[in-house]
Amino acid sequence: MKSGEDISTDKQRALLAGWQAPDLLGIGVAVCDASCHMLIANQTFLDILGTRDGLYLNSEGRLLETDEASQILVDVVGRCSHPSNAAGMPSRGCISVKVRRTSGRKPLTLLARPFPSTTTVRSSSMTLLLLLDVAHAVNEEGVVAPLLRLVSTSENWGGSHNYREGVH
């Protein structure tokens, strides 16, 4: 029989494995606030940001697009951060967008979803971001490539809403 300490260690290891799982699949995961300040990210997300091709993290910890003319990221995070139904709760839909890359490589796929807040303070709104670099994942042993190709080509992935500039 396991002691309480062993069970606690097992739970901690399971939580850590759950956080590392997207890294094993080549999926970047991050949470940001309504101002696009990154609060937490896994290593894959940080690696993709490090290329500074599509998205990057400025010196203040804010996520920005390398294409300065584009406002897709700010717009999507804004849509996820503001209440959109009568009850004042964010919609549960996932928004999928393509983030253009300045290198001309295939665009990054960004999936955004409102992250439930434990408080009703508007400034505590957070957005969960999944970042997929299809070109990178396709070359990696084919483990997640079919899934990424499906997500990147789907018009309505898992109830997600495609982003259309100017349409809110």
Q: What is the pLDDT of residues 1-10, one digit of tens each?
A: 666 666 778 8
CA angle 46, 49, 53 (to 5 degrees): 160
CA distance 53 to 158: 27
For range 140-166, the mean pLDDT: 52
Structure tokens at 118: 């434990």
pLDDT at 157: 47
Do 108 and 48 form a contact (C-beta atoms < 8 A)? yes
Distance of CA 35 to the CA centre of its chain: 15
pLDDT at 83: 55
Domains and CATH numbers, the chain: 25-162 (3.30.450.20)
pLDDT at 89: 45
pLDDT at 85: 45
- For residue 130, is pLDDT > 80? yes
Q: What is the pLDDT of residues 38-61, one digit of tens each?
A: 999 999 999 999 999 999 999 999
**The pTM of the whole model exceeds 0.85:** no
Do 151 and 26 form a contact (C-beta atoms < 8 A)? no
For range 140-161, the mean pLDDT: 52
For range 76-99, the mean pLDDT: 70
pLDDT at 16: 77
**pLDDT band for position 156 (50/70/90)?**
very low
